[in-house]
Structure 1
Amino acid sequence: MFNPSREQVRQFFTDAWARHKSGGVLTPLETIAARIMEQHPEYRADLEDPQAGERDYSVEEGRTNPFLHMSMHLAIQEQVSIDQPPGIRAAYEKLCARLGPHEAEHVIMEALGQVIWEAQRLGAPPDNDKYLDLILRRL
């Protein structure tokens, strides 16, 4: 399992953004990330800030962690592409029909965040059934 550090995740996004802006060659994963970054112009200052790798994005600041947010988009797109957990692709497609792809991912992101938070709190693996249930409630 790939388990990058916080710094590696941030470096991935900042490097991919710099290559994208300069017209450089991107890997398939960087291409997906660049599309996500294009959908979030509010994060461009962070992507271009050399100190972003060291910055804390605490809840108290009232800001979303841009790197966490974009990582969750990547995770959701991967889940949908392989339909894991089973049923997420169908739920995503139904949400897309109603909200569009980007907003559908945001709905799924809320459910994913909740399930991950609960798993961490309980010291257990994420509950896929609850995850899908939370998504399906939004249909």
Structure 2
Amino acid sequence: MFTPSQHDVRRFFCETFRKTRENLVLTPLEIIASDWIRQHPEYDHDLADVEQALQANYSVDQGQTNPFLHLSMHLSIAEQISVDQPPGIKQAFQILARKHQSEHEAHHEIMECLGEMIWNSQRTGLPPDGQAYIESLKMRCS
């Protein structure tokens, strides 16, 4: 299994941003990433300079959103939905997209649940709990 480093992730998004702006050929994963980058123009400055991106520190304590984490979560959620893993996420996404009349807002709702699952896993040292993740999504769907 491939586990990219923080620098790998930042380089990937910066390179995708550059290739998109220069109308270069994108890989299938870059196409998906490019779509999310376009939906977040507030991150353009962060993506424009790879060296600056590699050095940046996004502190939650200072109220800073990490654009690379945010975009990575969009990619993860898109993949989860495409293969319906964990089972039920695709249906939850469809319900949330209708509820908000926005697939993007549905992603952000799912992102909250995904972040909570990851945080709980890190806090307890246990593997991520996919069932708790789906249960959290189901509560948001009602």
Return the letter of the residue paired with 2:72: S
Partner Cα separation in structure 1 for residue 14 and residue 71 of structure 2: 12
Question: Residues 47-93 of structure 1: CA distance to partner in whole angstroms, max 9, x if unpaired?
Answer: 00231111110112211000000000000000000000001001101
Which one of 107, 120, 123 corresponds to residue 121 of structure 1?
A: 123
Q: Within 5 A, what are the aligned runs for 1:1-139?
A: 1-49=1-49, 50-99=51-100, 100-139=102-141
Structure 1 runs, 4 residues or longer, greater than 6 Å off: none
Please identify which structure carries the higher helix content. Answer: 2
What is the distance in 1 between the residues matched to 2:52 and 2:78?
28
- State the one-letter code of the partner of 2:118: I
Please list every run of 5 or more consecutive structure 2 residues that lacks an aligned counterpart in the other structure: none
CA distance in 2, matches of 1:81, 1:9: 21
Q: Distance in 2 between matches of 1:105 and 1:21?
A: 24
SS in 1 for 2:86: coil
Deviations 1:98-127 (A, max 9, x none): 111000000000000000000011111111
**CA distance, structure 1, for counterparts of residue 79 and residue 130 of structure 2:** 15
**CA distance in 1 between partners of 2:127 and 2:107 (Å):** 22
- For 1:11-54, what per-residue CA distance to the aligned partner results, in whole angstroms no more than 9, with x for missing partners? 00000000000000000000000000000011000000231111
| More moved, 89-98 vs 49-58 | 49-58
TM norm structure 2: 0.96
Instruction: For structure 1, list consecutive stretches of 5 or more residues without a partner in the other structure.
Output: none
TM-score, normalised by the number of residues in structure 1:
0.98
